[in-house]
Amino acid sequence: MSKIILTGDRPTGKLHVGHYVGSLKRRVELQNSGEFDEIYIMIADAQALTDNADNPEKVRQNIVEVALDYLSAGLDPNLSCLFIQSQIPELTELTFYYANLVTVARLQRNPTVKSEIQMRDFQASIPVGFFTYPISQAADITAFKATTVPVGEDQAPMLEQTREIVHKFNSVYGETLVEPNILLPENSACLRLPGIDGKAKMSKSLGNCIYLSDPEEEVRKKIMSMFTDPNHLKVSDPGQVEGNPVFIYLDAFCKDEYFAEFLQDYSCLQEMKDHYSRGGLGDVKVKKFLNAVIQSELSPIRERRHHWEKRIPEVYEILRNGSITAEKKAAQTLQDVKQAMKIDYFSDRALIEEQAERYRQ
């Protein structure tokens, strides 16, 4: 069986380093591993509209931002198909049919949707489209017969629901859809990167993000202002490493080589952590090192971004071509689905003959 990746992001803002370590970096590695037969990376504008119906301009503006983030991070349009969700009408058609296989009670149990409803203060005014987006996400994944979906932890409930829909579909209509597997980051610090303010999640609405597109100086300022251990007042005080965002970022980004390059006092992160816990290592020194590490990670991304920012029409052309390729694949799956569901009336000669025969008798 082919190994196929599908994943994507809502275009509601620029991507930040949390997206990068949580999923984007992994996608690039998977792309470059050569282990996958097909790779689809989707800008989920239709999903973004499920809770931004009154703000289409925001979604429209962020299409190119996300595309630039993808290309800057190292996704290569020759290896990965980059496309826009709304340009694939087959996805909405699949969603409509899958909706018959999901109960309202099951949707209400989806923990990600639950917490998003709370965060958005929807209460009694939940848009139906938003409430049912897990079904549309199942359509996104299955339309491409994806075997592997690299995403952050918050997407696990979506994958679970997709697998249930696949199960249900195949048991009612016969083996048609492929059951996907989630691929989570291996490094636990990458699962959920906290914001620079130490809050549990890096998120645009909290204003605590380091963006992939931030200039060098902006990144430095953000890192030097980061929240650390509030009880670590003097350099000589013992400091706390656990839950300290500066060390969580180092867990997510640091490689031993960076010590040889930027800070020869230590040979690995554990040595630095031990010194911090003992006391005698100041936050400024740790932050300066973290800045060097993150700048090293971001600098090739920044360079590629400069390249693509000068070629915006080409970026749209990549998305247009990707959408054409993606639609072909989704159309094939839709045909399989309609055949399985027995709604392929005109391509089924046997059916027409059978009905004709019935009336001849």
The nearer residue to ligand TRP, 80 or 291, going by C-beta atoms, is 80
7 is an interface residue for ligand TRP by CB under 6 A? yes
CA separation, residue 73 to residues 139, 146, 270, 360 (Å)? 26, 22, 28, 65
195 is an interface residue for ligand TRP by CB under 6 A? no
Residue 134: CB minimum distance to ligand TRP, A: 9
The nearer residue to ligand TRP, 8 or 194, going by C-beta atoms, is 8
Residue 12: CB minimum distance to ligand TRP, A: 9
Task: Please give the single-letter amino acid code of residue 215.
Answer: P
> Which of these, 304, 253, 197, 223, lies nearest to 21 by C-alpha position?
253
Whose tokens are 């999923």? That residue is 23
Out of 30, 41, 94, 149, point to the residue binding ligand TRP (CB under 6 A).
Answer: 149
Out of 6, 66, 165, 286, point to the residue binding ligand TRP (CB under 6 A).
Answer: 6
44 is an interface residue for ligand TRP by CB under 6 A? yes
The span from the CA of 112 to the CA of 209, in Å, is 21
Q: Which stretch binds ligand TRP (CB under 6 A): 74-82, 99-107, 148-156, 204-212?
A: 148-156
Size of the site for ligand TRP (CB under 6 A): 13
Q: 95 and 131 in contact (C-beta within 8 Å)?
A: no
Residue 86: CB minimum distance to ligand TRP, A: 12
Out of 27, 40, 47, 95, point to the residue binding ligand TRP (CB under 6 A).
Answer: 47
Kindly give the pairing relationship between strand 4-9 and strand 181-183: unpaired
Residue 238: CB minimum distance to ligand TRP, A: 40
Q: Which stretch binds ligand TRP (CB under 6 A): 6-14, 166-174, 233-241, 321-329?
A: 6-14
Query: In terms of C-beta distances under 8 Å and separation of at least 24 residues, what long-range contacts does 271-277 make, across chains too?
Result: 273/241, 273/247, 276/232, 276/239, 276/241, 276/247, 277/238, 277/239, 277/240, 277/241
Residue 187: CB minimum distance to ligand TRP, A: 20
CA separation, residue 8 to residues 24, 63, 121, 201 (Å)? 9, 12, 25, 19
> Which of these, 162, 127, 122, lies nearest to 142 by C-alpha position?
162
15 is an interface residue for ligand TRP by CB under 6 A? no
The nearer residue to ligand TRP, 24 or 286, going by C-beta atoms, is 24
72 is an interface residue for ligand TRP by CB under 6 A? no
Residue 210: CB minimum distance to ligand TRP, A: 18
The residue number whose beta carbon is nearest to ligand TRP equals 44
Contact string 117-146 vs ligand TRP (x = CB under 6 A): --------------------x--xx-----
Whose tokens are 């046997």? That residue is 350
**Ramachandran region of residue 298, left (φ > 0), alpha (ψ -120 to 50) or beta?**
alpha
The nearer residue to ligand TRP, 154 or 237, going by C-beta atoms, is 154
**Distance in Å from the first CA to the final CA of the chain:** 45
The nearer residue to ligand TRP, 81 or 246, going by C-beta atoms, is 81
Out of 4, 8, 52, 71, point to the residue binding ligand TRP (CB under 6 A).
Answer: 8
Residue 57: CB minimum distance to ligand TRP, A: 19
Dihedral of CA atoms 259, 15, 317, 141 in degrees, nearest 10, equals: 100
Kindly state the DSSP code that residue 110 receives in the 8-state scheme: -
10 is an interface residue for ligand TRP by CB under 6 A? yes
**If you count them, how many residues does the chain have?**
361
Q: Which stretch binds ligand TRP (CB under 6 A): 147-155, 227-235, 275-283, 333-341?
A: 147-155
Q: What is the number of alpha carbons within 13 Å of residue 36 lying toward its C-beta?
A: 22
Return residues touching ligand TRP (CB under 6 A). 6-10, 44, 47, 137, 140-141, 149, 151, 155
